Amino acid sequence: MSSLPLPRPTDSQLIQIVDAALQVTAHKSGEWLACKPGCHQCCIGVFPINALDAARLRDGFDELLALDPDRAARIARRVVDSIARIASDFPGDPTTGTLHETPEAEAAFESFANNEPCPVLDPETGTCDLYTSRPMTCRVFGPPVRSEDGLGVCELCYHGATEEEIAACEMVPDPDDLETRLLEQFELKTGIRGNTIVAFALT
C-alpha cells in the first residue's frame, strides 16, 4: 500500500516558524530587545531579498491596494522616488531589478544606498506599511542570530548584557532550513531567480 504524499510546506508555515522563534527569543530577552514601533534604524539602507521575499511583498501590496488604496499609493510613490535616486548606481540589472552576483557587484553593494530609507517605511509613523509581508531579514533583525561571522545583534539592543546572556537569547529562526526548500520550489515553478531589493520588488 502506497502512502499519501505529504503536503508541500508553504510560505505561511515558514512565517509561523520564524515568528514563533522570535516570540521565544523576545521572552528570553526582555528589555534587552529594544525593538518597538517607531524604532526604524534597521529600515535605512538597502539589503538583498530573495524571490520568495519579493513575491510575499507584492502579495502584501496587492492586499493593501484593495483595503487601503491611499496608503498603497503612498508606498508606490516612495518606490518611484527611491528608484529614481538609486537606479544609476544599482549593482545589477535596473530593468529587472535583479542584483548581479559577480564579486565586483557584491563589493559595490556593500556601499550602495546605505542611507536610502525603505520605501515601505512610513516616514510619519516610523512603522512598516507591509509589516505582515516583510522579508525574512526584517523578521530576524535585532535578536542574536548566528551567521558565518558569529552571533550578530542590533547595536541598539542587549546593552548591559554579557556575551553569555546574549548567547542564551540566541534565535534559531528556521532550524530545518524550510526557506531554502520553498525558494527552490518557487524558482522551479516561476523561473524567477536571483536577489533584488525592496524597491525593485514593488515596481
With 50 as the cut, is the pLDDT of residue 101 above it? Answer: yes
% pLDDT > 90, the chain: 90
Q: Calculate mean pLDDT across residues 17-36.
A: 95
pLDDT in tens, 27-80: 999 999 999 888 999 999 999 999 999 999 999 999 999 999 999 999 999 999
The C-alpha angle with vertex 71 and arms to 65 and 76, in degrees rounded to 5, equals: 75
* Amino acid 1: pLDDT: 39
Q: Considering only CA atoms, which of 132, 172, 154 is closest in space to residue 34?
A: 154
* Amino acid 5: pLDDT: 52
Check: CB of residue 102 under 8 Å from CB of residue 185.
no
Check: CB of residue 144 under 8 Å from CB of residue 152.
yes
With 90 as the cut, is the pLDDT of residue 152 above it? Answer: no
Q: Calculate mean pLDDT across residues 151-174.
A: 94
Structure confidence at residue 103 as a pLDDT band (50, 70, 90)? very high
With 70 as the cut, is the pLDDT of residue 134 above it? Answer: yes
Task: Write down the domain spans for the chain.
Answer: 11-201
Instruction: Look up residue 116 and give its three cell numbers.
Output: 536610502
The C-alpha angle with vertex 158 and arms to 126 and 131, in degrees rounded to 5, equals: 30
With 70 as the cut, is the pLDDT of residue 160 above it? Answer: yes
Q: Calculate mean pLDDT across residues 138-161.
A: 91
Instruction: Look up residue 170 and give its three cell numbers.
Output: 540566541
pTM of the predicted structure, to 2 decimals? 0.91
The C-alpha angle with vertex 197 and arms to 56 and 32, in degrees rounded to 5, equals: 80
With 70 as the cut, is the pLDDT of residue 26 above it? Answer: yes
194 by DSSP, 3-state: which? coil
Structure confidence at residue 149 as a pLDDT band (50, 70, 90)? confident
Alpha helices in the chain (DSSP H): 11-29, 51-67, 69-86, 103-109, 136-140, 163-168, 178-190, 198-201
* Amino acid 7: pLDDT: 57
* Amino acid 6: pLDDT: 45
* Amino acid 150: pLDDT: 84
